Structure 1
Amino acid sequence: MSKFLRFALWSLVASVLGFAVLTHHSSATGSREDFPAKLSQWKLIQRAGDRLAAAPSGVTYELATPLFTDYALKWRVLFIPNGQKAAYNPDRAFDLPVGTVIAKTFYYPVTPADHTGESADVLKARASDYQDGVGGLRLAHVRLMETRLLVHRAGGWVALPYVWDEDQRDATLERVGDAIPLTMVDGAERKDFVYVVPNANDCANCHAPNFTAGEINHIEPIGIKARHLNRDFPGKFGTINQLTRLQRLGYLTGAPAVASAPRNVDWHDERLPVDARARSYLDINCSHCHSPVGAARTTGLWFDQGHEHGADWASPRRIGVCKQIVAGGHGGGGLPFDVAPGEPEKSILLYRLRSNVPGTMMPEIGRSLVHAEGIALVRSWIERMEGQCRLASEQ
């Protein structure tokens, strides 16, 4: 049996687990920096038989469209302290109480053959094949890569990357990150790549909500927003809307009726308009930087579907249509417009999404592979746009 597929089978008594969660929430409010060295010490997610299961207070959730991370699948669990509630916000991340922990476990399906050396064969797959909101994450044919914790302490949010040990029994805190060689298998095609676990400081590159105020050391969650959570997902109370579930559990206050809440769409769903799918894809993958207050605010190219900054999100120019490049150096490939309607091959946006060259590729961090399916969606979106761009010199 492969060393990557040797699993320790064990479980915890529910009462002990519940006590540990309460203990954790107490420590999460303090100011000490002595975080547990092992993920299991948090007592939030544990090996339980053939699954990775959450403590009773945890709520598994999924985003309407998730961020692309080298085809890794993600199991997300939200832990809110007993008796506390999150405050709803229609655009920004919910106001989550001190003591909240968000756990996101990255994993891959693996080929059934044994593996030797440091590299492993990993496969493209759907998260729904391996996880649900009731039983947790099924582990029979997956390799766990890392679990990232976002911990809300009295002084703000702290990001902690835990890398799963080679024997898959536990994960170890690695503040400096890690680099793990893998091989992606897609049909007959094989591609070697390096899966990069970011160091704790790198998290601010995406999770810092406001660069205009110089708050690059202040971070907050990205996915816990109304538009990302406003979808059905199986879990407690059955398959229902996730905002409804949080309200029924007493974890969320101030939310409107689901029909009145913002909603991104599933970018995979080909029954939906390409425009809505592409905007949702660009929102989750790009808007943490490309917004009026993000790290890429000076580009004038904004993909945030929220409205908290009063921008005109319906303006085609804000999503790059016929907008000439204002930043990016040589990363534009000599192309004049961010998005050229009907001409994807002349659009800087598509050029940078297809690149793996540092200084050109977008997003700049968080991936080593090109997302072929995402690129196909953005190409189709641009192809269907109407209009024609003219350079300022031609007008």
Structure 2
Amino acid sequence: MRGHVLTALLVVAAAGCGDAGGAATEAASGTDTTTGTGGPGTDASTGDTTAPTTGDPCAGTTRCPAEGPWPLPKLSDYDFFVQPMVELAPKDGVVPYTVAAPLWSDAAGKGRFIVLPEGEKIGFTEGEGWSFPDGAVIIKNFWFDHDRRDPAAGRRMIETRLLYREAGAWESVTYLWDDAQTEATLHKIGERVDVAFIDEDGQARVEEYIVPNLDQCGSCHERDDATELLGTITHQLNTEIVVDGQTVNQLEWLAAQDMFSGTLPDVQALPRLVDPFGGEPLDTRARSYLHANCSHCHRLGGGAGKSGLVFLAWEETEAKLGVCKVPAAAGPGTGGHHYDIVPGKPDDSIVIFRMNSLDPEIKMPELPNRVIDQRGVQLIHDWIAAMPEKDCEMLP
């Protein structure tokens, strides 16, 4: 049953929007996991096939009770989740997904879902550039576990971000959850939230988490002046998930939900990223981490495109990866070092210096981190240390 979330927001439920009606899917990727109902037999759905022109994806339909232009004022207005919403039990028509290599967000957990318009599908490609119809919605929820030693102890939802497709472009919007954990309200100006939790060592801690304002969304999602998706690419979704206790390929599972137009190619022949902290070779894990955390800016057309650094997983030119590369700009961001990456010498590399800082003028990634990803720093440190040493000053 497809097409009930945008066109009949109060009627259905699934994978981010509706009745729990399928197998739970899980992906082991540190704290960044997706768990949702919507396994085999749960179709992706939602929306109207008519391209909206009034700011209302429900325009032109008779089955959508939520009136008014998008974005709607409250998350519950979309009817994405079974009540209580905080459990993120999706209604029929919203499909959960996860990524192989997650973006570090100060150790926040994440739950992701895709909603498609009724009768519409994703145009699959073997790399980036999946094509989504108008009316499609990408849902991303952010939370913190109360006790990082025991996820069963519950969590605090912080924000839910939506990217919805309208008139051929992606629009971004953020919803901030209330203290009662019953509702999330449209929030455009950003927020600083103190989050209390028990850490891995059993110590009570409080950290400040930054909810970005809408203008800051472009720092990651904007490329050549257009908003782009980051996680929904073949490399990120060509990974294994658990459905009803069985390990399956996520792309094949999504295809079984009738999400793609055409026939899916052999997934074993398709490119993939890996869990940066899994058991794959060091180079593969490090390149996956850099792609997930850095390539949205460090690529042609990205915010740091002029730096000359390219951290796409498929980049093959060592100089573009920073090896013996002189930085495009000097200043405090170099830490007194001369090259972005000095093979075999991570402590002499600008990349490590910047990853290991929280100074707004130095740190990488720039937004919105307030906590250093120690495992990520160690991973890239090990990767650089494992490179055959070169004397960068002797290179032409």
Q: TM bucket by the smaller chain?
A: 0.7 to 0.9
Counterpart of 2:11 in structure 1 is 16
The answer as to 2:270 corresponding to 1:261 is: yes
Counterpart of 1:164 in structure 2 is 177
The answer as to 2:319 corresponding to 1:317 is: yes
Counterpart of 1:309 in structure 2 is none
* Secondary structure of the corresponding residue to residue 47 of structure 1: coil
The answer as to 2:342 corresponding to 1:340 is: yes
Distance 1:224 1:141, change over 3 A: same
Q: CA deviation at 1:227?
A: 0.2
Query: Structure 2: which 5+ runs fail to align?
Result: 1-7, 19-44, 56-68
Query: How many Å separate the matches in 1 of 2:108 and 2:51?
Result: 28
Listed one character per residue, the Cα deviations across residues 168-221 of structure 1 (whole Å, up to 9, x for unaligned) are: 0010010112110224634166654321111112111111122xxxx1xx2021
Listed one character per residue, the Cα deviations across residues 292-351 of structure 1 (whole Å, up to 9, x for unaligned) are: 221111111101125xxxxxx222212111111122532111101111111111000000
Q: Does the 8 Å CA contact 2:86/2:181 hold for their aligned counterparts?
A: no
Counterpart of 2:39 in structure 1 is none
* Secondary structure of the corresponding residue to residue 322 of structure 1: coil
Q: Which runs of structure 2 are paired with 1:134-173 in the superposition (5 Å)?
A: 141-173=154-186
Listed one character per residue, the Cα deviations across residues 11-62 of structure 1 (whole Å, up to 9, x for unaligned) are: xx99822599888547983432542111011011233598321121111111
Query: Structure 1: which 5+ runs fail to align?
Result: 1-12, 112-122, 131-139, 307-312
Query: How many Å separate the matches in 1 of 2:300 and 2:85?
Result: 47
Counterpart of 2:66 in structure 1 is none
Q: CA deviation at 1:391?
A: 2.2
Q: Greater shift after overlay, 297-306 or 183-192?
A: 183-192
Counterpart of 2:114 in structure 1 is 78
Q: Which runs of structure 2 are paired with 1:1-395 in the superposition (5 Å)?
A: 16-17=11-12, 25=48, 29-32=52-55, 33-48=69-84, 51-111=87-147, 123=148, 141-183=154-196, 185-187=199-201, 192-210=206-224, 215=225, 218-235=226-243, 239-254=247-262, 255-269=264-278, 271-306=279-314, 313-327=315-329, 329-391=331-393
* Secondary structure of the corresponding residue to residue 391 of structure 1: helix
Q: CA deviation at 1:154?
A: 1.4
The TM-score normalised by the length of structure 1 is: 0.81
Query: How many Å separate the matches in 1 of 2:85 and 2:117?
Result: 26
Q: Does the 8 Å CA contact 1:101/1:149 hold for their aligned counterparts?
A: yes
Distance 1:326 1:14, change over 3 A: closer
Q: Greater shift after overlay, 294-303 or 29-38?
A: 29-38
- Greater fraction helix: 1
Q: CA deviation at 1:368?
A: 0.8
Query: How many Å separate the matches in 2 of 1:334 and 1:323?
Result: 14
Query: How many Å separate the matches in 2 of 1:359 and 1:328?
Result: 12
Query: How many Å separate the matches in 1 of 2:181 and 2:49?
Result: 28
Q: Does the 8 Å CA contact 1:301/1:319 hold for their aligned counterparts?
A: yes
Distance 1:235 1:25, change over 3 A: farther
Question: What root-mean-square deviation, in Å, do the aligned CA atoms of Structure 1 and Structure 2 show?
Answer: 2.7
Query: How many Å separate the matches in 2 of 1:172 and 1:49?
Result: 13
Listed one character per residue, the Cα deviations across residues 68-126 of structure 1 (whole Å, up to 9, x for unaligned) are: 00000100111111211111122224111111111111011104xxxxxxxxxxx377x
Aligned length: 346
Query: How many Å separate the matches in 2 of 1:143 and 1:72?
Result: 10
